[in-house]
Structure 1
């Protein structure tokens, strides 16, 4: 049984996601004080994990603007680097662990621990051309066995992100205009349906919080992390609350190759339009009008195709790719 203040049911989630959700929930609701320093080692110790999933969770929270660097070791809760750092034991400072982690400490599957980060890295490379994924370098980079690295690549294959040629080499990309059109078409056909199925389980107070985040970005500071969080709020945390697992997988498969586009929001003039469209979907849901929300979501995705095609056609306008040793550009 999970505590009442836990963010979500963690059954089946990779440890990286459990740590991320736990911290995000407790930072947003104020349980963890502003200025609290969270380091990779201390966080891994609290969750009885390795540093890899702890580090991946911290990186995602930093990208979202919930943690900030301050010149010392670790990251600090909040987005104000001028806040005085607070160095305390995480549990003493208010960190509440999911009950299952306190009662059943165990070593998590290494594949599950590193997969989300590898998936994100590979998805982000697709618009930049064709890449080879080196299994040995992947294993070395994450400190795992070749068997675990192979399992990660096999899962990426099932997700549609990589393919294996006749020589047993793994390749990713490129994301072509034709493929992008197909992915967007899948999304505008399926996401409104998923939203219809998710509607009965959506919480109005949660929808209002998501709406407030949009308003905050409209009137305040904008960065890629905050904009990507708004994308996640609508297209993952809301749309993918549907109970149909196969529908969930199909949509996720078409969302993944478009992740790299998120970092280019700040360099494209359609950001205001995107924010207004997200706001319209949440306004309809909060007003109890799911059909209108479905139509608004469909129109938002159809309109988004054009600007994303434009970004794809001009690679120099894309954000710089994250260099990793296991991803080798081949043209």
Structure 2
């Protein structure tokens, strides 16, 4: 078949833009022939690495080095011993004391930590003991001008006195929660309200790591702000940054004091969660508290 030289000549005589249309160029319809500029791609939105929730519950037990008891147990034991000295001196009766589990629990505190993006809270609870029957005996002896009451003191009788402390970070304020008198003391200038990098990503990667209850943590080898080197394993849920009540320690033993008064504090994780809804009441000011914010 001979080529259509007349049509070919017509094509060659056309300008380039018309040539593409008349001679089959451009790949198709009129829409493709219009020059639409490419839609600009928006820059990526920076994501706050502190978004999301975290929860940790730990027990911390403090004991004198080489001993089976700590400071709180020691103080309360002195009161029990004084009570039993009265039983022996005035009544020639054997010693008594509260159950061992109750006495041992004096050296342990429970701490719960909550974090939700821009809010955080830390609550620590424990207890002290009141020797209720010793108080009764002492009050009667005072009325009798030092004469021993007829009924000896029961040194095992006791009442637990709850001890609770709390800190709350929200709305740009750090609150000290005083449960004893229902007060919240606010501070807008606390350094904990701003982010302070404790270690770079490279430094974190170089740290030894461990796993506690399925969660990874890193062990700093040099002292960080408020962190004991070699004794702590810091959860990697959020960056190695001091912010609100972060970072959180998942294991380790710290030592306080010296000589016979050296205390060793052992930490044990009881519960750990991330990415789950938190109790909103724990991240709010307690109802009925008076609030003071300078």
**TM-score scaled by structure 1?**
0.22
Q: Which has the higher strand share?
A: 2
Please say which structure displays the higher CA radius of gyration.
Answer: 2
**TM-score scaled by structure 2?**
0.24
Q: Which has the higher helix share?
A: 1
